[in-house]
Structure 1
């Protein structure tokens, strides 16, 4: 691990397409390639779905696509004025390209991950295993893990086109054998075959040997940062950091950017990488189906509905209210684009929690929540945080999670783990707390036992977590709970954005301003605090309304427990508004609305050097150091960002960032010397889009999740992100003490270590690590994680490693995701054999509707295959029926019978086996050109296993059937 860190700090190390940014302004990055491929393939799927439903699809599919345009075109109600949130789509694409970029960090010295050193079989094995893991994840609806795996696979696939001589060989199409492991890798240059000659005068345009090109032999460059050794006559990757490129034959064949040895071919390599990525995505699409493919891409207009519910004895009223509000949301939004994209339910009590229910079927969710009953209770505290941990790792990033409880957390030791997951996923957690005691001292009953209520100190844990996530801690009586659950209905609306949010603890009177822009609709303000709290609201027009007016010119509001919910009237009142709050007790203010315009951000960290770049930063930024964010504006292609600020929501500290546009609505924002504290990210700008009510509208948005700085650094890196059932993986990690953002080489000290995973898989880690004198301020250790042999392939597991200082005042963490993936043993695609066809198709197209044709094929996965799981019609609008018979060799044969009108005279079937291998089988009926009388014939065809099927059909002797096998 230490060696890799040293290597990555050296100049010019990156040796692939640049991961995220092209600072020369002319090169294509892995981020560009991945996003282009995802947008084009997603648009194609939406186009095909629209065609099958008889809807128009007017979007031109090319490399100019944007996230907003694809999202809107894929929305069946996507008019220019409809609200469409692109946050989930943007976030999902970002997850894929960040995972892609991480390969250059995690597998920097692996030739197989980059197709270096002619490791074509090893590179394809990585792709094969990765694609299998993606398909298994999708099968279990583990879309988050599937995206991270997919990003890594795409990096290796894309590097083939910049590291090999595929482009130089004149190929115009992707090398399909890389994603088809049952096909041979052909025309590979042998280990003793010379491939290059030295570049002359620094010009490497003609360094590939002519005989290599004439024979069409495939090679890739050798790369080594430590040794100049390479096989005689072989090409090098090239670049200042590649020592092999200094040995004869000198130079390289890299096409990583326009300045590389073969940089003149960079854009051709990038275009082929885009097409190859689309080919891989198409394979996953066919294997998983259109609906699940779009979910994998994160294409959704709506959020998830996620409940974590205490099921102990006193929670009957709370469970009933959770049922009521969820059923109301489902019933009102079912069949609309605002229907939740998924439903998540996690019950908890003591001593149990779970199981997790995650489904897209509203009726399944209704059934599960309907079966919840309140019973038991015992010693009052419950496993609330354990249940919340399951929800945080299962829900998509930026989800809103609602927790119902009236009891303290028995697993309060998980607080730092939950905080790490909140920060990592940027999910918002709101607690619906009933019967919190007003007194700070727990009351006792006449029998001397504690009633089932939370003290103020118990509730503070939930308040802290709500604040960290940007959620709320809503404290009400059970009788008033139904008044407070309106916040759940608010959050389930489409395209909800946070305009402003602040917490004051301790409380003090203060004035807060926020900007109302022309794209905002249905704005709501939430103020939580003590009953004595008062407020005053002032609009941009100077109109005011006080808290003594429950209904006035600016808002109508309701009160439930500590919550005041204000429904704002912002019509024709864009501009700066103000809320003044008077309270000496802690309080919070949150302003939301509905708008297509929003933003997402990710912490990134720089890799130094001439070809340096950035990658996703895990954990918290370092106190006193610099911090960098990749900010992506969503929902508009016309936004001008003018300011990104980190501000302490409980104090006056603000740090302004320096903005650099990096294309496609993305901005690299750097902050210098971020002090210790908790910060929120605020974005301000202007939008001149036609969806705004004014031609030029200033706007502001705020990210709900807090960013907390730390003087501890925790870095962890696993050698593999896929774990086989029954195996154990070791994850080395390093804990470092820092000062002003850099390692404090002279520091010493001990740190408490906690390692938790959401599957409760067996793991082992030290309870403490010590930074000793002379260690350079670092301590190294290892966590082991064991996956049970019974674990299902496609299961994802999230591991959180935390380090806390001796004073328990500072914590940092690393979050790692793994996919459980069985070893790939079945790489063969299903086999198709035509049995027969019958047609009576007239030559005149005007008569086609009155005639039918039929296509019959035998489909099998072979005697050693995993079996056929699905057969679907990819092309054609006829009727497909399937049945199963036994073959003579013991294999199962699926008989596919397709019939259609003669107006549609071709069919293509997609055949998928149980591990996701895809085959396609097609037939076509040609029109009769002469008036030949119908003839009846008996056709007897032997299937793959030797089983004979006798079928009699009526055939036109002039009609041919072609078998198309891809």
Structure 2
């Protein structure tokens, strides 16, 4: 396959350099080898299932899942998400995405820290390698990253910055305790890479060890039996066969060593082992050869699977150490094991927004109170206020009462110069929210920081988050009310177009209503707070033209809703797979119940037992959008990638 061939794969992937020297990152060029991706996913599934089994035992509900190498994301999600009596729709997207983020950053170590011996346990740097695993300090990642908006143009750069700011399992635990699960996953992937490389790059397996080296995750324990800097460890391989190149005295004394590696120089201490492989120049100097077990074709490839199994067990031990520190609930949040959504509001707090704030409070309290204690309870709450010249602070919590107190404390004041820092507030929310989140922005003013549009678009694309704007009193006439001495505000159609463009880029909507009708439009927020919500179909027509659109309803879909936005002159009809038609003039018909608020038409579809091809016909020459959602256990994660060559032939974004 050439480097120009592109593929769609159901995982989050990574740009990799050609000179990796570890377990292969994502895919194996040798089909029977185990990759960092395999090791990380196996360990996460095992530990997650074990935690859920323990919770089930404590709470007295059944848990029948067998914990072995046959575990899948779907099996674990199903076993952990239900007591056996729940009939709610389950989705594995957030769980799978969280796992992917962890092996994504795991593989990124081979790029960001490609020449760091500590990150790979090369050159007998055992103390340094353990420091990478255990040390580190937590950083308030969202605020720090906001200081570098010019760099936030893709997910690669975003994660690169995170890895530079955070390291070590200490930082993972600190991030989780602060409920910053996204940062915790980024660092955890990095830590796992270094821990896993120990078993591939050292002679731990050759020494006959059958269990992980526990001292690597415990900084208070002494690293014992290390081969000193002047102790010879290897002899030349014979005719390319390196099975017996470790010195017998080293093995008899139980001394620990690892291979030296260098892309540019063949120099290494006398008598020391090399990592091995075509890119390792030290392996061409006596003692010739290497001891790596990165894949089955490596110098010690016959021990590859033993090393990989130990790496899995070591990763499970690391995850258990984190669980003990943060507790079961937060550990499962870190793993992304949730079928519920994140409730995320970005709210304008200037003088004319008191009605909007009150409505945001009402709808969020209704969602919280109706779902508290159920599997549908939001997994986290995020609030970002903005006005001018300020925005924030960001409130992110899993505690509904803290969120309630925060939104209760919002007051509407100021805003005399009309434009506000809307995109700055949205940027802060996008860097904090988990991937695939749905974010709701409330405002009645233009954006003063419109120059951030491209940065916001890049964040939307990398996080795959959906942004919906609740725009009140978009200027349709010159009439504006005065509120508490604040001069009338005016958002023109041109001002609103910025929000429409961002909504379109994210798969969200720009809903335009009067303040009096806002409460009728916030049903969109309630719709999105259900579990396992998927987008079945979406299109934006700009400029508008009469058109017909079709979408397929399959047996997995339930509770379907269609949204059509456009001017009041827009008309439409919808036709089911059985040929039944309902027009926009019917508020209650055979296919849907229709409500109209501002530019939004909401249709609650009666799609049960009507699988097949549906059609929506729209008649309008003005811009409009159509979106169909539903609940389904079927969804997918994707990225466009291309093949590339190298020591570990793989794929890159």
User: What's the TM-score once normalised by structure 2's chain length?
Assistant: 0.90
Aligned to 2:255: 217
- Alpha-carbon distance, 1:273 to partner: 0.2
Matched, 1:175 2:175: no
| Farther-moved stretch of structure 1 (588-597 vs 310-319) | 310-319
Q: How does 1:387-402 map to 2 (within 5 A)?
A: 387-402=425-440
- Alpha-carbon distance, 1:610 to partner: 4.7
Aligned to 2:76: 70
In structure 2, relative to structure 1, the CA distance for the partners of 1:295 and 1:285 (3 Å cut) is same
Distance 2:338 2:556 in 1: 20
- Alpha-carbon distance, 1:451 to partner: 2.6
Tell me the SS of whatever aligns to 2:233. coil
Aligned to 1:88: 94
**Which structure is higher in RCO with an 8 Å CA cutoff and minimum separation 6?**
2
| Farther-moved stretch of structure 1 (148-157 vs 51-60) | 51-60
Aligned to 1:504: 541
Q: CA RMSD in A?
A: 1.9
- Of 156, 163, 166, 2:201 maps to 163
Q: Deviations over 1:139-163 (max 9, x none)?
A: 2111111110110010000000001
Distance 2:40 2:241 in 1: 30
- Alpha-carbon distance, 1:208 to partner: 1.1
Aligned to 1:19: 25
Task: Give the conservation status (yes or no) of the 8 Å contact 1:467–1:503.
Answer: yes
Aligned to 2:503: 466
Aligned to 1:43: 49
Distance 2:617 2:289 in 1: 67
Matched, 1:56 2:62: yes
Aligned to 2:617: 580
Distance 2:481 2:267 in 1: 80
Q: Deviations over 1:776-799 (max 9, x none)?
A: xxxxxxxxxxxxxxxxxxxxxxxx
In structure 2, relative to structure 1, the CA distance for the partners of 1:143 and 1:102 (3 Å cut) is same
Q: How does 1:211-360 map to 2 (within 5 A)?
A: 211-360=249-398
Aligned to 2:405: 367
In structure 2, relative to structure 1, the CA distance for the partners of 1:123 and 1:610 (3 Å cut) is closer
- Of 562, 569, 575, 1:538 maps to 575
Aligned to 1:493: 530
- Alpha-carbon distance, 1:614 to partner: 3.0
Distance 2:176 2:538 in 1: 36
Task: Give the conservation status (yes or no) of the 8 Å contact 2:343–2:439.
Answer: yes
Q: Deviations over 1:676-704 (max 9, x none)?
A: xxxxxxxxxxxxxxxxxxxxxxxxxxxxx
Aligned to 1:476: 513
Corresponding residue pairs, total? 605
- Alpha-carbon distance, 1:81 to partner: 5.2
Tell me the SS of whatever aligns to 2:615. strand
- Alpha-carbon distance, 1:319 to partner: 1.3
In structure 2, relative to structure 1, the CA distance for the partners of 1:157 and 1:9 (3 Å cut) is closer
- Alpha-carbon distance, 1:91 to partner: 1.0
Task: Give the conservation status (yes or no) of the 8 Å contact 2:29–2:648.
Answer: no
Tell me the SS of whatever aligns to 2:638. strand
Distance 2:401 2:290 in 1: 59
Distance 1:403 1:494 in 2: 21
Matched, 1:115 2:115: no
Q: How does 1:920-939 map to 2 (within 5 A)?
A: none
Aligned to 1:451: 488
Distance 2:422 2:79 in 1: 41
Task: Give the conservation status (yes or no) of the 8 Å contact 2:260–2:275.
Answer: yes
Q: Deviations over 1:386-422 (max 9, x none)?
A: 2112211111111111111111111222222211211
- Of 588, 591, 614, 2:628 maps to 591
Task: Give the conservation status (yes or no) of the 8 Å contact 2:23–2:200.
Answer: yes
Distance 1:93 1:166 in 2: 27
Tell me the SS of whatever aligns to 1:578. strand
Higher helix share: 2
- Alpha-carbon distance, 1:234 to partner: 1.3
Q: Deviations over 1:753-776 (max 9, x none)?
A: xxxxxxxxxxxxxxxxxxxxxxxx
- Alpha-carbon distance, 1:469 to partner: 0.8
Distance 1:235 1:24 in 2: 24
Tell me the SS of whatever aligns to 1:403. strand
Matched, 1:133 2:134: no
Task: Give the conservation status (yes or no) of the 8 Å contact 1:78–1:84.
Answer: no
- Alpha-carbon distance, 1:472 to partner: 0.2
Distance 1:480 1:160 in 2: 61
Task: Give the conservation status (yes or no) of the 8 Å contact 2:480–2:489.
Answer: no
Distance 2:608 2:169 in 1: 50
Higher strand share: 1
Task: Give the conservation status (yes or no) of the 8 Å contact 2:62–2:84.
Answer: no
Q: Deviations over 1:23-76 (max 9, x none)?
A: 322111000100111111111111111111112211111121111111111113
Q: Deviations over 1:96-143 (max 9, x none)?
A: 000000001111111111111111111111111211111111121111
Distance 2:76 2:567 in 1: 46
Tell me the SS of whatever aligns to 1:266. helix
Tell me the SS of whatever aligns to 1:600. coil
- Alpha-carbon distance, 1:363 to partner: 1.6
In structure 2, relative to structure 1, the CA distance for the partners of 1:180 and 1:10 (3 Å cut) is closer
Task: Give the conservation status (yes or no) of the 8 Å contact 2:437–2:465.
Answer: yes
User: What's the TM-score once normalised by structure 1's chain length?
Assistant: 0.61
Distance 1:523 1:112 in 2: 52
- Alpha-carbon distance, 1:581 to partner: 1.2
Distance 2:31 2:573 in 1: 50
- Alpha-carbon distance, 1:79 to partner: 5.6
Aligned to 1:194: 232
Task: Give the conservation status (yes or no) of the 8 Å contact 1:10–1:608.
Answer: no
Task: Give the conservation status (yes or no) of the 8 Å contact 2:353–2:443.
Answer: yes
- Alpha-carbon distance, 1:82 to partner: 3.5
Task: Give the conservation status (yes or no) of the 8 Å contact 1:10–1:609.
Answer: no
Tell me the SS of whatever aligns to 1:590. strand
- Alpha-carbon distance, 1:521 to partner: 0.3
Task: Give the conservation status (yes or no) of the 8 Å contact 1:606–1:614.
Answer: yes
Distance 2:72 2:230 in 1: 47
- Alpha-carbon distance, 1:283 to partner: 0.9
Aligned to 2:190: 152
- Of 357, 376, 390, 2:414 maps to 376
Task: Give the conservation status (yes or no) of the 8 Å contact 2:16–2:111.
Answer: no
